[in-house]
Chains A and B, each alone.
Chain A
Amino acid sequence: MVVELGHFALILALMVALVQATLPLWGAQRGDPRLMALAGPAAGLQLLLVGASFAALMWAFVVSDFSLAVVVANSHTAKPLLYKISGVWGNHEGSLLLWVLILAVYGAAVAVFGGGLPDRLRARVLAVQGLIGVAFMAFLLFTSNPFWRLATPPLNGQDLNPLLQDPGLAFHPPFLYLGYVGLSMAFSFAVAALIEGRVDAAWGRWVRPWTLAAWIFLTIGIALGSWWAYYELGWGGFWFWDPVENASFMPWLLAAALLHSSIVVEKRESLKAWTILLAILAFGFSLIGTFLVRSGVITSVHAFANDPERGVFILMILGVFTGGALLLFAARAGTMESRGVFSLVSRESALVANNILLSVSAFVVFIGTIWPLVGTMLLGRDLSVGEPFFNAAFSPFMVALAVILPPGAMLAWKRGSIERSLRGLVPALVLALALGALAFAMQTGRSALGPVGLALGAWVVFGALTDLWARTGREAVAARFARLSRLPRADWGKATAHMGLGVTIFAVAAMNAWKIEDIRVVQEGESFPLGAYEVRLDRVEEVQGPNYVSTMGTMTVTRGGALVAVLNPEKRVYPVAGMPTTEAAIDYGLVRDLYLVLGDRQKSGGWAVRSYIEPFANWLWAGAFLMALGGGLSLSDRRYRVAAGARKVPVGVPAE
C-alpha cells in the first residue's frame, strides 16, 4: 500500500511539474501575475510529492519489502540498517529518484528564498526547473520505475554490492547529486536570463550562491568518493581517471570556472555571455556525466546497444536541454553587452585566464573520457585512454592555474599592475622555492614531482595568506591583526578555498612521488622492514561478521622498538552477493598513513602482504575540506543574506 502511494505520488509530481513548467512561463511572457504566482506553490507541492515518493521507497527498503524488484536486487534482511537506507540510492532506479528529489528541493528553495527575485525571472527560473523535473520524472516512470512489483516475491534479496556497504560511500552519492543537480539552478537562471534577454550585476549575485552551493557539494562528494577508493580498493590509489570519476570531475571544473566568472558579472558587469554559456555547459556536463554513467555506454558499447532504452532517453534529455539552451544562447547572446571595460592586466583578465584554463582542462578530461568511444564508433579501433594520458595532458593546466593564481587574485579590478601584485608576493615566492629546494635536497634520486608539487602548493597557500594580509590595510601590525577578524567572510572564503587548492596540489604530488610500496610473502610471526618501520604479521584468523566472513590478520608496527600501531587488515567474503572485498588496515597520521593489505594464502604457507607508506594522505582530504569550507564561508557572507532578502540590490559596487 505504501509503495503504491509512493508510486502515485511520483505520478502526481510529474503532473505538477508539467503545470510548473508551462503556465508560469506563459504567464511571464504575457505578464499575467496570477499564472506567474503559480510557480512557487507548484514547486513546493512537487517537493512534497517527490519527498513522499522517496520516503515510500525508503520504507520499502527498511522493512525489506521483497515484492519490489529494486529491493530484491539491492537489499537483504541481514544488511545493517544504514546500508538498507543507503541501498535506496545504491542502484539505478533509486538514485534517479534521489536525483529528482534533490531537483525538487532546489526548486522549492528558490520558491522560499527567491523572494528578492523579480517576479518574471522567478517564474521563468522555476518553470525551467520544472521542465527538467518533467524530463527526469518521465525517464524514471517510463524506463526505470523503482516501484515495480514482482508477481512472486522471493524470500530474501540479493544484497547490495558489498563494496558499496561502506559509510564513506553511503553518503557519496547524495553529495554528488546535490552538486550535479545544484548546477541545474545555474542552468535555469541562465535560460531564464536568455528568455528575458537581460543579464546584470543582480543576476550574477543571484546565480553565484547556487553555483557555490553546488560546487561545495561536488567537492565533498568527489572527496568522499576518492577517500572511499583510497581505503576500500586496497592499493592506496585515490584517483583513477575512471570514466565515472571523470563524469563528476568535469562539472566540478566547470562549476569552479562559473563561480569565478560570475564574480566578474556581479562586480564588473562583464563576461556576461560567457558566464551564461558556462552555466549551460556546466549543467550540460552534469547531464553528460549522468548519460555516461547511466547508459553504460562507456563500460561497454555493446551493453548500450543491447539495452538502449535508458541511454537513448538520457541522450534525448541531454540533447533537448543542452541543445535547446545553446540555440537560445546563439539567438540571444548578442544582447548581452558587457559594460565593464578592463585592461589586459586586471583582475578581470586574471579571472578570464582562470576560466580558460579550467574549461580547457575540463575539455581535455572530456575528450580523454570519450576517446575510446570515438575510437570504436568512428575509427573502428579499440583504443584506451588512462592515467598516463591524463597526467601528461591535464596536469599542465593545473600547474599553470596554480602559478597564476596568487598574483591574479591580488590584481586590482579594471586596471592592475603585475609588478605591484608580485612585489607583495616576494616573501611567498621565496618561502615556496625554499621549501621546494629543501625537499629536493632531502630526497635522493627521486623524481622532481615531489619538490615541484611542494613549491607549487606552498606558493598557492602563502599567496592566499598574503592576499588576506594585504586586505588588512597599511597600518601597524597589531591593527592589521585586529582587522583580520573583521574582514568580510567572502575574503576569508576566498583565501581558505585557495589554500585548500594549494594543499591538495601538494598532497597529490607528494602521494605520487613519495609513496613507498612493499609486496612480499610473510609467514605468521615473521617481521619485515617498511621504510623506517618494522612490521610483524602476528596471526591470521577467521572471523564471522554480520553478513560476511572475514579472514583477519593482526599486524604490529613498531619504529625503533616502540609500538606504533596494531592493525587488522581483512579479506571479507559476502556469501549472499558472492563477492570478496579487501579491507585495508590504515594507521592515519599527520605526515603519513601506514596502509596494510592482506592478500591470499600462499602454497608455501604464509600470506601475501602488501604494505604502503602513503605520505601526506590526510592532507588531500584536508585540502578538499578547506576548499569546501572556503566555499561555505563565502556563501555565508553578509552580502548574500542581504541580497536574498532585499528587493532592491545596490547598484554600482565600488571597484575594490
Chain B
Amino acid sequence: MSKIIRTAAKEPFKPEPDDDLIICRCEEVTKGEIRRAVHGGFRTTNEVKRWLRCGMGLCQGQTCQRNFQNIIAKEAGISVKDLGMISGRSPARPVMIDVFANEVIDAEKDPEGK
C-alpha cells in the first residue's frame, strides 16, 4: 500500500440523500456510515472494515467489498486499487467449532480418523 498522509478533515461532513442505502447486507452497514468513516480519517478497506464491520459478516466481503470500496475511493478521491483488500482467511466457509476441533491429520495412516 502506498504512502498516505492523514490529517483531520477540514470541511464538515456533508450528508447525501441516499446515505441510508445498505451496502453491507450481512452487517447492515450503510453508505452514510462508510462516508462518515472516511470523513473521520479511515482511508483503507481494512480500516473501514474494522471500524464499521462491513465485510466481516457471513460473506466475508465477497459481495460487499467492492461496493464499499467504491464509496471509500469516491469519498477519498483515490483509486480502488490503492485501498488494499480484505485478506482471505480460513475458514473459507463458516464451519462449526466441533468440526474444526475434530481433526484428522493423516486420513491414509488412520482411516478411522482417530
Judge: A and B partners, yes or no. Answer: no
B residues with a Cβ closer than 8 A to A are none
Residue ranges of A at the interface with B (Cβ–Cβ < 8 Å): none
